[in-house]
Amino acid sequence: MQYNESEFLIETVVPEDELIISRTDLQGIITYANETFCEISGYEEDELIGKSHNIVRHPDMPSAAFADLWDKMKNKKQWIGIVKNLRKDKGYYWVKAIISGVYKNGELVEYKSLRTPISYEEKLQHQKLYDKMRQENGEKIRKVIYE
């Protein structure tokens, strides 16, 4: 995937009083997106419903983070992590996500994610951490994408 460098410079800051909410089926296909999710990601609701949640995956995210997320889901545990997401316009937004199962009569039927804003320091720390994780895992980092 090739991106124009300048597209990556635009951050959408998640307001303190907003919750970004989505739900997926057990395969990670979006079944629900609240208004804030649509606004922050830059998509219309009908562009999100029915799509894989990786529609907002940012190329800076290390695959190990999502491997850990799905491992937690398979084991019916909660995953809490810091995620850099890609907007439709190729800008980005950082969130803290809490992802867990949705149960109906004791049966796992869906997954849900609640996301809240993080501080500037947390963003900086995680950008560095994720660059390091990608580098150590042989995944491309921004320098390479920009060539």
Ligand X SMILES: Cc1cc2nc3c(=O)[nH]c(=O)nc-3n(C[C@H](O)[C@H](O)[C@H](O)COP(=O)(O)O)c2cc1C
Instruction: Determine contact, residues 112/26, Cβ cutoff 8 Å.
Output: no
56 phi-psi bin (left φ>0, alpha ψ -120 to 50, beta other): alpha
Q: State the CB neighbour count (10 A cutoff) for residue 94.
A: 23
Nearest distance from C-beta of residue 36 to ligand X, angstroms: 13
Nearest to ligand X of 70, 146 (CB atom): 70
Q: Which among 76, 82, 86, 85 is positioned nearest to 111, based on CA atoms?
A: 76
| Residue whose tokens read 């491992």 | 71
Instruction: Determine contact, residues 138/65, Cβ cutoff 8 Å.
Output: no
Nearest distance from C-beta of residue 61 to ligand X, angstroms: 6
Residues engaged in binding ligand X (CB under 6 A): 22, 24, 28, 53-54, 56-57, 61, 63, 66, 69, 73, 83, 85, 97, 99, 111-113
Nearest distance from C-beta of residue 119 to ligand X, angstroms: 19
Nearest distance from C-beta of residue 14 to ligand X, angstroms: 12
Which run of H or of E encompasses 128?
Answer: helix 120-136
Nearest distance from C-beta of residue 53 to ligand X, angstroms: 4
Q: State the CB neighbour count (10 A cutoff) for residue 93.
A: 23
